Chains A and B, each alone.
Chain A
């Protein structure tokens, strides 16, 4: 199994480890609910070193990225981050990514851990087929560790370890600076819906930076956070997870990413299929569901409007904040209306749920 540079640290912290797409990762330390609430109320520290990083350099870097991705990368300025996705020609999703612009000839993609090899091969193929000259792709995933510091206390914790003026670093922007003496990329982004940072740093410095952050954060209630709470935190905010709301079989228009699908942009991979899908009417829509009965919707549970099956749950959990079952689901457009009531098939029973627009938690 693949290990991040922090593997031993997790074991020493007493984490329960699981196989997450081939990676030996902490699923929880003190408990999913306690960790979840720590991030909402104070701060949490996540090892996300399994995530991949692919660098794009060269005079045609921007032109290539515009061809590769569905969002409009031309809107980015130096030091800005953009949420985007890469599609197949048929419109399904290769991966959802964040894109960092250093300058017009230097970008970095952050990609999902389980998709690193697939994405990099796809990018190389797309580059060959584009016939664009002077673009270099480098998979730097092994060099980078990644630590996320998330929660309302993130700024006060990080500012104790850096000279970077964090107040000037706005949401979805990044800079290069040092934390605990280690040079790194400091990005004001995250996957929890809270204020916070994602730090991209040399793998060899991961343990030292992690220990410094944990020590600086402890007086503020910082806890180490496993993948269990990472999932409940993103779900409460309605964020998509590749393999659930997005996949080769689910287009960005279906999966809730219409807001980053720039169909008025010049040609990009998947554009024709997505334009056609929009014109014909998107066959499924991603919605949020809140349970109106006691019960927890889970991935794969069927949804019914009366006797008719109208969709399926793609991610579901008990919301630690709301103490209610919540889910993201793909449903027929006719069943996707806000406040519609649908039945979730929970084992041998039907339980009532209401269609809402995420986030579930403000």
Chain B
């Protein structure tokens, strides 16, 4: 399982890539593996204001429904439309083609509080 060093991570197994005040968000390799085959993704509309810690979308595997939580607050700038037709991309490429939304952050410092790769790996080692 991979956990790229340049990303930040949440306790709910989302990853964030910060580029200035833009945050790209997806779910981690650990999360996609735990879910199994992803068959449905529900994402917010562009322009939606979302709040850190609140659910912004849903990812469904064959068996289960899971909420996806916003790692940072801000406005949805872009969503990954490819996931609507091919949600399995989340399984095959969780950190690249499987990105979910881009958030224009209200406060770029929001992301500073998130875990780095090392802390996240320690967390999942504890969980599993």
Residues of A within 8 A of B (CB): 16, 27-28, 31-34, 228, 231-232, 294-296, 298, 317-318, 320, 347
Q: Is the CB of B36 within 8 A of A28?
A: yes
Given contacts A28-B36, A31-B37, contact A294 B62 (CB under 8 A): no
In the complex, A147→B119 CA distance in Å?
A: 43
Given contacts A32-B62, A33-B62, contact A296 B36 (CB under 8 A): no
Partner of A318, one of B42, B58, B62: B62
In the complex, A27→B36 CA distance in Å?
A: 10
> Closest CB-CB distance, A14 to chain B, in whole Å?
12
The residue of chain A having its C-beta at the shortest distance from the C-beta of B37 within the complex is A33
The dominant DSSP class at the B interface is strand
In the complex, A16→B61 CA distance in Å?
A: 15
Q: Is the CB of B62 within 8 A of A320?
A: yes
Q: Give the size of the chain B interface in residues (CB under 8 angstroms).
A: 12
Does B52 make an interface contact (CB < 8 A)? no
In the complex, A196→B37 CA distance in Å?
A: 26
Does B124 make an interface contact (CB < 8 A)? no
B72 cross-chain contacts in A, Cβ below 8 A: none
CB-defined A-B contacts under 8 Å, sample of 30: A16-B36, A27-B63, A28-B36, A31-B37, A32-B36, A32-B37, A32-B61, A32-B62, A32-B63, A33-B37, A33-B39, A33-B62, A34-B37, A228-B36, A228-B62, A228-B63, A231-B63, A232-B62, A294-B40, A295-B40, A296-B39, A296-B40, A296-B60, A296-B65, A317-B62, A317-B63, A318-B39, A318-B62, A320-B62, A347-B42
The residue of chain A having its C-beta at the shortest distance from the C-beta of B88 within the complex is A33
Against A, the Cβ 8 Å flags (1 = close, 0 = not) of B105-120 are 0000000000000000
In the complex, A157→B58 CA distance in Å?
A: 41
In the complex, A228→B63 CA distance in Å?
A: 7
> Closest CB-CB distance, A303 to chain B, in whole Å?
17
B63 cross-chain contacts in A, Cβ below 8 A: 27, 32, 228, 231, 317
> Closest CB-CB distance, B18 to chain A, in whole Å?
29
> Closest CB-CB distance, A349 to chain B, in whole Å?
9
> Closest CB-CB distance, A232 to chain B, in whole Å?
6
Against A, the Cβ 8 Å flags (1 = close, 0 = not) of B31-42 are 000001101101
